Structures are given as C-alpha cells and as structure tokens.
Homo-oligomer: A and B are copies of this chain.
Amino acid sequence: MRELTRAEEEVMQILWKIKKGFVKEILERFDEPKPAYNTVSTIVRILQDKGFVTHKAYGRTHEYYPVVSKNDYSKSQLKTFVNDYFSNSFEKMVSFFAKEKSISVKEMEDIMKIMEDEVEKQKVKR
C-alpha cells in the first residue's frame, strides 16, 4: 500500500472522521490557518489518483469519500513499523511498551481480557 505524505494524511484523517465530504467541508475541518480551497482540492485529487478516495459527482460538484479504510491503512502502517523496529514481532513490540510503562496497569488488564477471549475463540474453532 502506498504511503501518505503529511498533507495527504491530514486530509485522510478528516475524511475518515466525516465519512464523506465536499472540498468545502473538508476545508472547514482544518485548524487555523486553513489552507486555500485549491490546496485541499489538489490534495484530494492526488488521493484519488493514489486510490485512497473516490467521488460521486452531483452535477459539477464532487463528494469525496475514502476507499481505503483507516483500519486498513493503520494495519499496513503498523506492519511496516513492527517490521522495521521490532523485527516483525508483535510480541516484542507490545512487551517493550509494557516494560516501558507506556501501558497502564488498567490497559494491560483490559488487553489481557481481550486476548483471553481471542485465544479461547481460536481454540474453539479447532
């Protein structure tokens, strides 16, 4: 999956949030100082070329919406990250952050609960 540049990612984050929108609506979601209308319009068209969004035309105006979901993109991004920084091991990554105390006890307990359920589910399947 192609990478998003900074500017492109910012637009995607907005589109993921609002689900669909006209350039004008995307522009509104930008923090000050807002870019020019044309800047957003250009970025959106680049995103379309890259296959991240598509549009529905209402006469002359276009309503854009994501084709690549935030989940799919984040999956691909984290995969690259885990590969580059934790030799492709999720376990290494998670345990690193657990030991670094970047994950609170509460979070760890919640994660463990989810994992227990998942492990159970996988076992049942067999």
Interface bits A1-41 vs B (CB < 8 Å: 1, else 0): 00000000100010000000000000000000000000000
- Asked if B79 and A98 make an inter-chain contact with CB atoms under 8 angstroms apart, the answer reads no
Interface bits A78-104 vs B (CB < 8 Å: 1, else 0): 110100111001110111111111110
Chain A interface size, under 10 / 10 to 19 / 20 to 34 / 35 or more: 35 or more
- Asked if A85 and B94 make an inter-chain contact with CB atoms under 8 angstroms apart, the answer reads no
For the complex, would chain A's binding face be called helix, strand, loop or mixed by DSSP majority?
A: helix
| List of B residues within 8 angstroms of A75 by Cβ | 97, 100, 102
Chain B min CB distance to A109 (Å): 7
Q: Give the complex CA separation of A82 and B78 in angstroms.
A: 10
Q: Give the complex CA separation of A19 and B99 in angstroms.
A: 23
| List of B residues within 8 angstroms of A118 by Cβ | 98-99, 105, 108
Q: Give the complex CA separation of A71 and B111 in angstroms.
A: 22
- Asked if A122 and B110 make an inter-chain contact with CB atoms under 8 angstroms apart, the answer reads no
A interface with B by C-beta (< 8 Å): 9, 13, 70-71, 73-75, 77-79, 81, 84-86, 89-91, 93-103, 105, 107-112, 114-116, 118-119, 122-123
Mind listing 18 A-B residue pairs with CB under 8 Å?
Answer: A70-B85, A71-B96, A78-B93, A89-B107, A90-B102, A90-B107, A91-B110, A91-B114, A94-B111, A94-B114, A98-B114, A98-B115, A98-B118, A99-B118, A105-B122, A109-B119, A112-B112, A112-B116
